[in-house]
Amino acid sequence: MKKGRKIYLIHPMGVNWMPGETDISRIANIMPPIGLCSLAAWVEKHGHHAAIHDCYAFPLEDDKILSHIESDTPDFVGITTTTSSFLDGIRIAKMIKDKNPNIPVIFGGVHVTSMREGLMKDYPIIDYGVVGEGEIPLLSLMDEDYGSLNDVPGLLYRENDEIKFTGYGKKNQLLDLDSLPFPAYGKLEGFPKAYKLPIFNYPKSPNATVVSSRGCPYQCSYCDRSVFQQSFRYNSAEYMFEQIKYLNREYGVRHINYYDDLFTLKRSRVVEFCNKVIDSKLGITFNCAARSEHIDLDLLKLMKKAGCWMISLGIETGDPDLLTLHRSNSDLGMIKEKVALIREAGIRVKGLFMVGLPGETEQSIDKSINYALSLPLNDINVAKFTPFPGSPIYDEIHKHGSFNENWELMNCTNFMFIPDGFTKERLEERFHEFYRRHFERFHILFDYVTMIWRSPNSWYRFLLNLKDFLKIKGSFKSKEPLSKDAVVKTAAK
C-alpha cells in the first residue's frame, strides 16, 4: 500500500451554448464541484494529497493546469464530467498527456457511468473509468491495495486490447455518508465568494452548496439514475448541523443550497435537523428541492422557522396525460395543493418545468403555461428536455422525434431533441412565451422589486451584469403569434 500519493482533480467547463446566443449561465449561477471536493477530502483522510482546478469558475486557465502538472507532478489526474463537459475533459486530458504522458488519467461522473465500455473504447486517452460512486475505486487505485484491478468495484480499465468492467460491487459496500469527511471546500480557489447561486434565489451571501443525500427511489423517464442506482442514503441530522456550523465558522457562509434530489424524503431527519438549527440560533438560511408527496404543513412551518427560504418543486408539465407518461406518481391536483401550503408557511416556491418532452403538443404546452400561471409560484425554471444517456427514455428516443446527439450542447439549455409535430424554431418560440408570460405579471415584477431589501446581493449582481441580462431580455420579447394555419404548416416541414 502506497501512502502520500498526489491527485489533481479537474472540473471541465465545456462549451455548451449555441453559437450566436448570449451565454449568461456563469453570470447567473456558478456552483462548486461538490463531488470533487468530497473525493479530495476522502483521499486526504486516507493519507494522500489532492488539489482541485475548477474550469467552470476559472475558465481559460490551461496554462495554470499545465503549470501544476509540471511543478507538482501528480501521480494521477482525475476528471469528472457531465455529458456536455465530457469532450472538454478529453481536450484537457490530451493536453496533460502531451505534457506528461506517464500520468494516469481517471474519468468519472454521470457520462462515463452511463456509457461505460463503449466510451473507453472510443477514447483511448482515458486510462481508468469510474462507474458509480468514486470513493472506493479512487482510493483503491491510489492505495494499490488490491490483488488485481478486477478486484476494484466500479472500475473500467484496459487489459491488452480489451476493456474490462468490474461491476458495481455489492450493495452493502455502499459507504455510510456520515463516515465521509466534509467536502474540501477550501481547495476551491476563491471559495466561497467565487461561487454564486442563481440570482434572486437566496437572501444572504456568501452562500454554499451542500449535498446531504444520494440517490432517488423514483424512476422518471428523463432522469439518469446510473450513478447511485435505486439506492437512497442520507446524512444524519447531526452531521448536517455540524456541516453548516463548519461552513459558517470557517468561511462565513450565511446561506446553504441543499442540492439533494429529495431533501425531505426522510421526514424525521429534517425535523431533527430543523430543531437543531432553531435551538442553535445560527441565523443561517437554506434552500432545498422536494417532491410534493413528501411535504406537509407542519413540516413546512418548522422548516420556515429553521430558515428555509425557498423550495424548488419538480412539476415538469401541466398536462396530466403527458406527466403520467414520464413521471412516477404524478398528480397535478396534489402538486397545486402543496404549492399553496409552501406559500402558507411563508416559504418561497420555485416551479421546475420542461418543454419538449416526447409526446409534447401545442396543447400540452398551453396546459403547462396555464397551469404554471394558476399556481402562486414566486419563480420558475423551464428546462429544454434533453434525453441523456442512462435515462430510461434514451434508448427509444428516436421513436418520438429527431435527436441531435451533440454532447457539448446537451445541457437542458438547448433543444437537441425535437418531438414529432414541432420544429426547433417553434419550440423556441413556445419556450420564450412560457417565461415571458410568467414574468410580465405585475405581482411577479413587484416581488423582484422587494428583493432590493430581501436579497440585496442579487440586485448588486443584476446591476453589475445589466448589459448581459438586457440581451437575454430582448430574446423574450413578445412576438406576433403564429396563426393556426401557420402552426400546422411549420410543424409539417
CATH at 155: 3.40.50.2300
pLDDT at 489: 35
Residue 194 lies in a domain: no
CATH number at residue 370: 3.80.30.20
pLDDT at 379: 96
How does residue 2 score in pLDDT terms, banded at 50, 70 and 90? Answer: low
CB neighbour class for 119 (10 Å; exposed up to 12, middle 13-18, buried from 19): buried
The lowest-confidence range among 140-149, 251-260, 367-376 is: 140-149
Q: Which residues, 6 or more positions from 372, have their beta carbon under 8 angstroms from its beta carbon?
A: 315, 318, 351, 353, 380, 434, 438
Residue 193 lies in a domain: no
pLDDT at 493: 33
Backbone torsions φ then ψ of 308, nearest 5 degrees: -65, 125
How does residue 147 score in pLDDT terms, banded at 50, 70 and 90? Answer: confident
The reply to whether omega before 481 is within 30° of 0 (cis) is: no
Residue 67 lies in a domain: yes
Segment 368-412, tens digit of pLDDT: 999 999 999 999 999 999 999 989 999 999 999 999 999 999 999
What percent of the chain shows pLDDT beyond 70?
Answer: 89
Q: For residue 201, which of 30, 57, 340, 354 has the smallest C-alpha distance?
A: 30
How does residue 329 score in pLDDT terms, banded at 50, 70 and 90? Answer: confident
- 430-454 average pLDDT score: 94
**Is residue 160 located within the same domain as residue 244?**
no
pLDDT at 481: 41
- 3-state SS of 402-452 is EECCCHHHCCCCCCCEEECCCCHHHHHHHHHHHHHHHHCCHHHHHHHHHHH
pLDDT at 217: 84
8 A C-beta contact, residue 235 and residue 211: no
**Is residue 310 located within the same domain as residue 451?**
yes
Q: For residue 82, which of 489, 483, 491, 413 has the smallest C-alpha distance?
A: 413
Residue 390 lies in a domain: yes
Round to whole Å and give the CA distance between 429 and 409: 19
- Given 167, 192, 218, the domain boundary residue is 167
Task: Specify the number of domains making up the chain.
Answer: 2
Round to whole Å and give the CA distance between 200 and 24: 15
Quick one: cell of 35?
A: 463531488
**Is residue 394 located within the same domain as residue 462?**
yes
pLDDT at 25: 67
Residue positions counted in the chain: 493
- 242-266 average pLDDT score: 96
Round to whole Å and give the CA distance between 156 and 167: 9
Residue 69 lies in a domain: yes
pLDDT at 170: 64
**For residue 216, is pLDDT > 90?**
no
**Is residue 225 located within the same domain as residue 77?**
no
Instruction: Name the pTM for this structure.
Output: 0.92
**For residue 90, is pLDDT > 80?**
yes
**Is residue 28 located within the same domain as residue 156?**
yes
pLDDT at 492: 33
286-310 burial string, b = 16+ CB within 10 Å, else e?
bbbbbbbbebeeebbbbbbebbbbb
- Given 141, 167, 193, the domain boundary residue is 167
- Given 116, 141, 167, the domain boundary residue is 167
Segment 5-30, tens digit of pLDDT: 999 999 998 766 555 555 566 677 89
**Is residue 367 located within the same domain as residue 470?**
yes
3-class DSSP assignment, residue 379: strand
**For residue 490, is pLDDT > 50?**
no
CB atoms within 10 A of CB 275: 15
Dihedral of CA atoms 417, 437, 21, 79 in degrees, nearest 10, equals: -60
Residue 186 lies in a domain: no
**Is residue 96 located within the same domain as residue 24?**
yes
8 A C-beta contact, residue 80 and residue 109: yes
Round to whole Å and give the CA distance between 167 and 174: 13
Residue 212 lies in a domain: yes
Residue 189 lies in a domain: no
φ/ψ region of 287 (left if φ > 0, alpha if ψ in -120 to 50, else beta) reads: beta
Give the mean pLDDT of the chain: 90
**Is residue 327 located within the same domain as residue 396?**
yes
**Is residue 225 located within the same domain as residue 279?**
yes
How does residue 475 score in pLDDT terms, banded at 50, 70 and 90? Answer: low
**Is residue 139 located within the same domain as residue 227?**
no
Segment 42-84, tens digit of pLDDT: 999 999 999 999 999 998 899 999 999 999 999 999 999 999 9
What percent of the chain shows pLDDT beyond 90?
Answer: 78
Domain range enclosing 133: 6-167
Segment 180-204, tens digit of pLDDT: 999 999 999 999 999 999 989 999 9
**Is residue 98 located within the same domain as residue 241?**
no
Round to whole Å and give the CA distance between 359 and 341: 31
Q: Which residue, chain included where needed, has cell 417565461?
A: 435
How does residue 330 score in pLDDT terms, banded at 50, 70 and 90? Answer: confident
**Is residue 230 located within the same domain as residue 281?**
yes
**For residue 366, is pLDDT > 90?**
yes
